[in-house]
Chains A and B, each alone.
Chain A
Amino acid sequence: MALSGVQIFKLLPKTNCKKCGHPTCLAFAMKLAQRQVSLDLCPDVSEEAKKVLGEASAPPIRSVTIGAGDKAVKMGEETVLFRHDKTFVNQCAFAVEVKDTMSADEINAVVDQVLGSEIERVGQKLRIDAIFVSNASGDAGKFEAAVKAIAAKAPEVPLILSTTNPAAAEASVKVVAANKPLLYGANKSNVDAMASVAKTHKVSLGVAAEDLDGLTELTDKIKELGVEDMVLDSGARTAKEIMRDNTYIRRGALKKGNKSVGYPVITFAQRDDVMLETLIASLGVMKYASIIVMSSIDRWKSLALFTLRQNIYTNPQVPLQVKQDIYKLGTPTSDAPLLITSNFSLTYFIVSGEIEGSKVPVRLAVLDTEGLSVLTGWAAGKFTAAKIAQFIQESGIEKEISHKELIIPGYVAILSGSIEDKLPGWKITVGPREANGLPAFLKARTN
């Protein structure tokens, strides 16, 4: 847990030597408490103070990375329980399970699905992040063969190697150690051997406990054995257990400074009922999982989960914005109506949704208002006659369409005269105030 300035002061040399650039040790301690300076500035600090302060200044939830290169997944470092307090830091990773009892063809098919899973939504690239390979056969040779086959086909995809057999762990980790897999399956009966494999190959270790008490014992022991990068499984499997344990772990780490649970969490969502599995995975997205393991990754399911993850992990203070442009909705002909709105994503989604629902093809001009809605943008000087006129002129839309009529939102009807002044030859029409008035408005025009 973070130390106060006075607590830090007690650990400093108290010589007021000014070598750190501060007038007194107390002033330096205050800056340290606010994390504005680094302890390295003090040349005389004791080793013991370094250790205590180093631990106290470590993030409450450790950063752990699996994989290497562009597709590496960074987890942990979370600072809050609720997204409205501060943006959640590292998006949870979605992983799909591959069992070593599956045939080569079946394994290939899943790997193909993972490789082809990347999509783009509101400017972000989203994909299935990792493959969870489980040693369902219990056979070390089969496990190693499956890992080899997957690594050959998808060398860049981060892997989670799941086995409780240290010999199988050793054989398979060795094959893909360079890609920094997560070795999952350290439990109370194999912990020494598993920690040794993780340490030897410098990979992170997944801790498989039966409950939170057991989890704490295991992580403490593993840390003593010299492995620092861990991922936690408290044994929670039902939705009720996941809600409880993931909440306890996040709260314990952040509010109680419990270092034993200050690591990313892995949540298992596999169910026979794929729709239910989607909802359990959704719970993981919202409630503090860093890795969510699923049994299948159909496109419809991935799209829903990617979208939820984007909604949960987006910055609550900065509205999602749409790029300034003139968007075609449906297949508008040159005489189709031209409307304008702001680039606040919610405004855009609602306006474009209503227009698409009306089935009337239109062009929708989206003005960059820095993410403000129409009325707020108008009040803040971001949705003004001058900006609208400049945007329409510079867009070159005049060459594309056979009319010169622009429909503006009803809330800014007051702008119609001044836009006409600034856009000679154009007719400005005042549309409905609310987006839900658009279908009736557009249909009335086409009749």
Chain B
Amino acid sequence: MAFTAPNETFAGKVFQIDAGIDKKIVFGGEDVLPFHSFEGNVPNRPVVAYEIQDVPPDDWPETIKKVYEGVSGDPVTWAKYCQDKLNAKAIALRLIGTHPDRQNRSPEDAAKTVKEVLAAISVPLIILGSNHVEKDAAILLAAAEAAKDKNCFLGKAQEENYKTIAAACMANNLKLIAMSQLDINLSKQLNILITQMGFDKENLVTDPMCSGLGYGLDYTYSVMERIRLAALTQNDATMQMPMLADVGMNAWKAKESIATEAELPIGGVLEQRAIAWEAVTATALMIAGSEILIMRHPEAVKAVEKFIDELM
């Protein structure tokens, strides 16, 4: 007997979004579950952005720090290295040095860094604060002005500071990343609050909060799957935004990405283990529904790109 393909089609569709001016990235737009091109349209592949910082990555584990030795001293050199040598499709600039517990850099410093990096690269830029809700409001406002009309992503807006950041995005013609705390309802609520300000829902990317392999990945995975199912099956326009996975910072926090083989004999060689930790985290979240991923290690990115090649 022939096999009857149990195809499923949906009423809903994920919004397609783009970033950049010269070299654009485009993602989202699918009307089926991730990589289910056998039963619907998956017009774009997920995009991986390389993560850089406004200050040297002193707190990154050795395995990843050494990859950027000699270029990570200043963000412009670092960004150009990712674009020119690693063929980055996008750059994610994290303004971590603005955090009060770090270098406590000022909004002016942040704006200057954003301008310099934008002037040096032609690929799209994702501008991220330090996740300090009070400080981010001021920092991202200044960063938004520095990136006016450059079609960047700016984030992350959270429940406590979304008004300032969303307004800054609208005033400067940018796109917004909205992060909520690992809960499908909170994610929906934040999207609603932001769009109620008059923000175009199709200029929004959802970050349901990422977690690393073995450290809460099960939660992020299921929240993403549920958001995506709501977008497709219920045609819920407040949940049809593409999703971001902030993979690098979470994967490289895991003990498994840091401990040497002597400290963790069951884990084998540290370098491969750490790369695998980042690549497997990214893979899981792509399968769950994320279309834009922020990553650190070139070997992990390479493996993920090959995996996407095979899946598309």
Residues of A within 8 A of B (CB): 82-84, 119, 121, 212-213, 215-217, 220, 238-240, 243-244, 247-248, 251-252, 255-256, 258, 260-261, 273-276, 278-280, 282-283, 286-287, 298-305, 307-308, 310-312, 314, 316, 345-346, 349-350, 353, 356-357, 436-437, 439-440
Contacts and interface: CB of A to CB of B under 8 A. Distances in A.
B222 interface: yes
Contact of A276 (B5, B214, B255, B303): B303
A82 B225 CA distance: 8
Given A258-B4, A261-B3, 11 more contacts: A216-B3, A248-B3, A274-B272, A275-B303, A279-B304, A303-B268, A304-B213, A307-B214, A308-B284, A310-B214, A357-B253
A310 B213 CA distance: 10
Contacts of A287: 287
Contacts of A273: 303, 306
A256 B6 contact: yes
B277 interface: yes
A436 B226 CA distance: 27
Contacts of A307: 213-214, 256
Contacts of B211: 346
A151 B258 CA distance: 38
A258 B6 CA distance: 10
B86 interface: no
A301 B266 contact: no
A280 B253 CA distance: 24
Contact of B283 (A82, A282, A311): A282
Nearest to B309: A239
B268 A283 contact: no
Contacts of B47: none
Interface residues of B, number: 58
A244 B3 contact: no
Interface stretch (B32-40, B152-160, B187-195, B239-247): B32-40
Given A248-B3, A286-B287, A311 B221 contact: yes
Nearest to B264: A303
B225 A312 contact: no
Contacts of B306: 273, 276, 279
Given A243-B36, A356-B255, A279 B218 contact: no
27 contacts: A83-B221, A84-B225, A84-B226, A239-B310, A240-B35, A240-B312, A248-B38, A255-B6, A258-B6, A276-B310, A279-B307, A300-B267, A300-B273, A300-B276, A303-B268, A304-B277, A307-B213, A307-B256, A308-B217, A308-B284, A311-B213, A311-B214, A311-B218, A350-B215, A350-B216, A357-B253, A437-B101
B36 A308 contact: no
B260 to A, nearest CB: 12
Given A216-B2, A240-B312, A243-B35, A311 B307 contact: no
A186 B270 CA distance: 41
A350 B310 CA distance: 34
A300 B264 CA distance: 10
Interface in B265-297: 265-270, 272-273, 275-277, 279-280, 283-284, 287
Contact of A283 (B38, B225, B283): B283
B227 to A, nearest CB: 11
B311 interface: yes
A433 to B, nearest CB: 12
B59 interface: yes
A84 B6 contact: no
Nearest to A217: B1
Interface in B1-35: 1-6, 8, 35
Contact of A279 (B36, B219, B221, B283): B283
Contacts of A346: 211, 215-216, 219
B229 interface: yes
**Closest 7 A/B residue pairs (Cβ):** A299-B268, A300-B273, A239-B310, A300-B268, A212-B3, A440-B101, A275-B303
Contacts of B35: 240, 243
Contact of A243 (B8, B59, B311): B311
B136 to A, nearest CB: 13
A353 B213 contact: no
Scoring B211, B217, B273, B283 by chain A CB atoms within 10 A of each residue's CB, the highest score goes to B283
Contacts of A314: 218
Contacts of A244: 36, 38
Interface of B: 1-6, 8, 35-38, 59, 101, 131, 211, 213-219, 221-222, 225-226, 229, 253-256, 258, 265-270, 272-273, 275-277, 279-280, 283-284, 287, 299-300, 302-304, 306-307, 310-312
Contacts of A305: 280
Contacts of A286: 284, 287
Contact of B307 (A239, A248, A302): A239
A212 B254 CA distance: 40
B247 to A, nearest CB: 13
Contacts of B5: 212, 248
A275 B275 contact: yes
A298 B268 contact: yes
Contacts of A119: 266
A215 B1 CA distance: 9
Contacts of A239: 307, 310-311
Nearest to A251: B6
Contacts of B276: 275, 278, 300-301, 304
A184 to B, nearest CB: 20
A316 B269 contact: no
Nearest to A254: B6
A362 to B, nearest CB: 15
B3 A215 contact: yes
Contacts of B266: 119, 299, 303
A308 B281 CA distance: 8
B311 A240 contact: yes
A198 B59 CA distance: 58
B289 to A, nearest CB: 11
Nearest to B59: A357
B303 A213 contact: no
B37 A240 contact: yes
B207 to A, nearest CB: 16
B90 to A, nearest CB: 21
A376 to B, nearest CB: 12
A128 B269 CA distance: 18
Scoring A212, A255, A304 by chain B CB atoms within 10 A of each residue's CB, the highest score goes to A304
Nearest to B61: A357
